[in-house]
Structure 1
Amino acid sequence: MSSPTQVKADRAVEDVKKTTISYAFDWGKSPLPPTLLATLLTALHFRPFQPLPMLFPPVLLFSTYLNLHNFTIDSAGLTAAWSGLYLIMARRRSVGGASMGARLGQRFGARGLTRGAAMGLAGLNLVGCGITYGLGRRREEEKRVE
């Protein structure tokens, strides 16, 4: 017969807290992050139409498609690579303006906040999906496909 303290200890072992790496791994396995990034990029670059940044949403949506068809490791690699490319491209753009007030208005307006959210999400995708791609095991995917 177990004592009440032993039962509590057993429950504590079962309720193990997740590590940061496991959160990043779960982020990379999810099909939602590339879809959200594609949505933000479309909102930013569709009007006025900018051809180079608009190459990213179809690739990110294809990554979601791969993820939904049980190619999570490959999808994570594709998402990490294209999110990193977007970060490089978006970082090159400067928020110009004549005065400090104009620059603050551009940074904290609706467009600036959307740009910041897109860059933040791209950074999260780069880290989370990169960890998933780097630490993922393809043997599990191959068993599901066969």
Structure 2
Amino acid sequence: MHNRTVAAGLLSVLLLTGCTTNSGDTADKPGPSASGVRLSAGWGPKLITLTDTKRALCNQAGDHGCADHVAAIAIEANALQDVIEKTGGSYPRTKIKIMEIVNGATSYTVHECGGDTNASIAGSPCPDDVFQVRGGAETLPFTLEADEAGR
């Protein structure tokens, strides 16, 4: 229970502060540029890599690796939201998708899924929470492109 409490607290702090994983080093993150820059060019491949390379991590929703993966996706979604806000771009569908991801990660935390050996049993909300986060992250690159095409 202590590990779940620590993980839940950490995820909550990260989500509330919009903390990113790069500790201030923006060299590897697509950032605000001159107007007309397509965020999907930098963020699309990054998000695809984040979800494709970790596909089996959440076979068991309560595994610590899955909890870390859910947190990593939420952190990147928050970082993308920050970039959108800083660039002043109009990404209405992307913002909705990011909110869905953050809501799924918040539910995962509230349901204390990380480290719970029963998180994947029938009736547990944890697999749905994971699906909301991962499914949102897997479609986010396409949502970015759709918003950019609609400008």
Same fold (TM over 0.5): no
Relative to total residues, which structure has the larger helix share, 1 or 2?
Answer: 1
- TM value normalised by structure 2: 0.38
- TM value normalised by structure 1: 0.39
Question: Considering only CA atoms, is the larger Rg found in Structure 1 or Structure 2?
Answer: 1
